[in-house]
Amino acid sequence: MKKFCIAGIILLVLFSGCTKSPGTVTKDFIGAIQSNDLGKIQALSTDDTANIFTAFSDVIKEQIGEGTYTVAKEDIAGDTATVTIKTATGDEHKFDLVKINNEWKVTFKK
């Protein structure tokens, strides 16, 4: 019985580390915008958000730009998060995320 408990704890620790942080999801999302990877945009965002980004991908890509960016700030409050990224030119953009089925997804706040 003791072996099962230890094995269960090990599995729990391993699987809890599989969830990407909001900052990582945001960086992946921006990379998908920059490369026009609509499949990845859809996978990393809520359905409503994916539709918005698909419809306005050119405008959004222009705002994000092609340069590099870093995560400047990551605020997590339960199942919601706000990630601020900073572009190479110093511009900052905020992204809102929600946790759905233990995965962070970019969402558009109305």
Domain boundaries in the chain?
20-107
Q: What is the pLDDT of residues 75-103, one digit of tens each?
A: 999 999 999 999 888 889 899 999 999 99
- Helix (H/G/I), strand (E/B), else coil: 104: strand
pLDDT of residue 10: 45
* 100 phi, psi to nearest 5 deg: -125, 125
Is residue 14 over pLDDT 50?
no
pLDDT of residue 65: 67
DSSP 45: B
pLDDT of residue 47: 87
* Distance set, CA 3 to CA 7, 11, 16, 46 (Å): 6, 12, 20, 40
* Distance set, CA 70 to CA 28, 58, 63, 67, 85 (Å): 11, 21, 15, 10, 5
Contact call for residues 82 and 54 (beta carbons, < 8 A): no
Q: What is the pLDDT of residues 43-53, one digit of tens each?
A: 999 988 888 87
Q: How confident is the model at residue 11 (pLDDT cuts 50, 70, 90)?
A: very low
Length of the chain: 110
pLDDT of residue 94: 93
According to CATH, the topology of domain 20-107 is: Nuclear Transport Factor 2; Chain: A, (3.10.450)
